[in-house]
Structure 1
Amino acid sequence: MLLPDFDTCYLAVRSRDPRFDGWFFTAVRTTGIYCRPSCPAITPQRRNVTFHASAAAAQRAGYRACKRCRPDATPGSAQWDLRGDLAGRALRLIGDGLIDREGVPGLARRLGYSQRQVNRALLDAVGAGPIALARAQRAQTARTLLETTTLPVADVAFAAGFASVRQFNDTVRAVFASTPTGLRAAGRPDAAGDPDIGTITLRLPYRAPMDLSATLEFLGARAIPGVEQFTDGTFTRVISAPHGPALVTLSPGDGYLACRATLAEVRDLVTVSARVRRLLDLDADPVAVDDALGADPALAPLVSKRPGLRSPGAVDGFELAVRAIVGQQISVAGARTVLGRLAAEHGARAFGGRLQFPTAERLAALDPATLPMPRARGRTIVTIARACAEGTLGLDPGVDRGDERARLLALPGVGPWTADYLRLRALGDPDVLLAGDLGVRRSAQALGIELAGGRGDWAPWRSYVTHHLWAAH
Structure 2
Amino acid sequence: MIPAASTGRRSERRWRPSAQLDLALTLSPHRRGGGDPAWRRTPDGAIWRTSRTPEGPGTLRVTAGHGEVHAQAWGPGAGWLLETLPSLLGADDDIAGFAAMLARLTRSDDPRQARAAAFVAGLAGRAAGLRIGRSLRVFEALAPAVLEQKVVGREAWRAWRFLLRRYGEPAPGPAPEGMYVVPPPEVWRAVPSWDWHRAGAEAVRARTIVNAARHAEKLEGTTTAASSEEADRLLRALPGIGVWTSAEVRQRAHGDPDAPSVGDFHLPAIVGYALTGQKTDDDGMLGLLEPFRGHRHRVVRLIELSGVRPPARGPRMAARDYRAF
TM-score (norm 1): 0.53
Taking only the aligned residue pairs, the percentage that are identical comes to 24
Aligned CA distance change for structure 1 residues 223 and 321 (closer, same or farther; 3 Å): farther
The SS at the match of 1:247 is strand
Superposed CA deviations along residues 85-143 of structure 1, whole A, max 9, x for unmatched, are xxxxxxxxxxxxxxxxxxxxxxxxxxxxxxxxxxxxxxxxxxxxxxxxxxxxxxxxxx7
Asked if residue 405 in structure 1 is aligned to residue 232 in structure 2, the reply is yes
Structure 2 residue 296 is matched with structure 1 residue 462? yes
RMSD: 2.8
Q: For 1:468 and 1:260, how far apart are their aligned partners in 2?
A: 29
2:181 corresponding residue in structure 1: 356
2:70 and 2:153 map into 1 onto residues whose CA distance is 27
**Residue identity in the other structure for 1:361:** E
User: Structure 1 pair 260/464, CA: closer, same or farther in 2 (3 Å)?
Assistant: same
In structure 2, what residue type is equivalent to 1:254?
H
| Aligned counterpart, 1:339 | 160
Asked if structure 1 preserves the Cα contact closer than 8 Å seen for 2:46 and 2:63, the reply is: yes
The answer as to whether partners of 1:396 and 1:426 remain within 8 angstroms in 2 is: no
Q: How big is the shift at 1:385?
A: 1.1
Structure 2 counterparts to residues 412-431 of structure 1, below 5 A: 412-431=239-258
Compute the displacement of 1:249 (Å).
0.5
Indicate if the aligned counterparts of 1:440 and 1:469 stay in contact, CA closer than 8 A: no
Query: RCO greater where, 1 or 2, for CA within 8 Å and sep 6 or more?
Result: 2
Contact 1:205 1:256 in 2 (8 A): yes
Residue 144 of structure 1 aligns to a residue in which SS? strand
Which structure has the larger Rg? 1
The 3 A distance-change label for structure 1 pair 218 and 350 is closer
Question: What's the secondary structure of 1:394's corresponding residue?
Answer: helix
Amino acid across the alignment from 1:360: P
Match of 1:241 in 2: 53
Quote the Cα distance in structure 2 between the aligned partners of 1:417 and 1:333. Answer: 18
Cα deviation for residue 396 of structure 1 reads: 4.6
Give distance in 1, aligned partners of 2:249 and 2:302: 18
Which residue number in structure 2 is paired with residue 303 of structure 1?
124
Quote how far apart the aligned CAs of 1:318 are.
0.2
Contact 1:279 1:314 in 2 (8 A): yes
With over 3 angstroms needed to count, the CA separation of the structure-2 counterparts of 1:301 and 1:225, relative to structure 1, is: closer
Report what 1:212 is aligned to.
Answer: 23
DSSP-derived class of the 1:240 partner: strand
1:407 offset after TM fit, Å? 3.3
**Map of 1:144 onto structure 2:** 3
Cα distance, 1:402 vs. partner?
3.0
Mapped partners of 2:30, 2:149: distance in 1: 18
Q: Aligned in 2, Cα 1:278/1:439: closer, same or farther, shift over 3 Å?
A: farther
Structure 2 residue 177 is matched with structure 1 residue 366: no
Partner of 1:323: 144
1:259 and 1:223 map into 2 onto residues whose CA distance is 23
- Alignment deviations for residues 417-463 of structure 1 (CA, whole Å, 9 cap, x no partner): 11122222222223223344344312222223463447443232223
1:201–1:259: 8 Å Cα contact kept in structure 2?
A: yes
Matched, 1:393 2:219: yes
Equivalent residue for 2:275, pick from 430, 445, 448:
448
CA distance in 2, matches of 1:242, 1:435: 30
Distance 1:426 1:221, change over 3 A: closer
| Distance verdict in 2 for CA 1:314–1:442, change over 3 Å | farther
Choose the corresponding residue for 2:76, options 264, 268, 277. Answer: 264
Tell me which residue corresponds to 1:378: 206
**CA displacement at 1:264 relative to structure 2:** 3.0
1:227 matched to which residue of 2? 38
Kindly state the Cα deviation for residue 219 of structure 1 after the two structures are TM-superposed.
4.2
Matched, 1:283 2:92: yes
Closer, same or farther: CA 468–211 of 1 in aligned 2, 3 Å? same
Structure 1 residue ranges without an equivalent (≥5): 1-72, 74-142, 150-193
Cα distance per residue 1:393-431 (max 9 Å; x no partner): 335522344334223323332221111222222222232
Measured against aligned partners, the alpha-carbon deviations of 1:72-95 in whole angstroms (never above 9, x if no partner) come to x2xxxxxxxxxxxxxxxxxxxxxx
Residue deviations 1:301-335 (CA, integer Å, cap 9, x gap): 32232224222433521011011011223343433
Shift of 1:362: 1.4
Matched residues, number? 279
For the residues of structure 1 that align with 2:291 and 2:10, how far apart are their CA atoms?
Answer: 46
Letter in 2 for 1:237: R
Task: Choose 332-341 or 251-260, whichever is displaced more.
Answer: 332-341
1:129-208 aligned at under 5 Å gives the runs: 144-145=3-4, 148-149=5-6, 194=7, 197-208=8-19
| Structure 1: 4+ residue segments shifted above 6 A | none
1:360 and 1:224 map into 2 onto residues whose CA distance is: 22
Distance in 2, matches of 1:351 and 1:402, equals 36
What residue identity is the alignment partner of 1:398?
A: T
CA separation of 1:469 and 1:283: change in aligned 2, threshold 3 A: same
**1:28-47 correspondence to structure 2 within 5 Å:** none
> Judging changes above 3 Å, is the alpha-carbon distance between structure 1 residues 319 and 276 closer, same or farther for their aligned structure 2 residues?
same
Q: Is the 8 A contact 1:207 1:283 kept in 2?
A: no
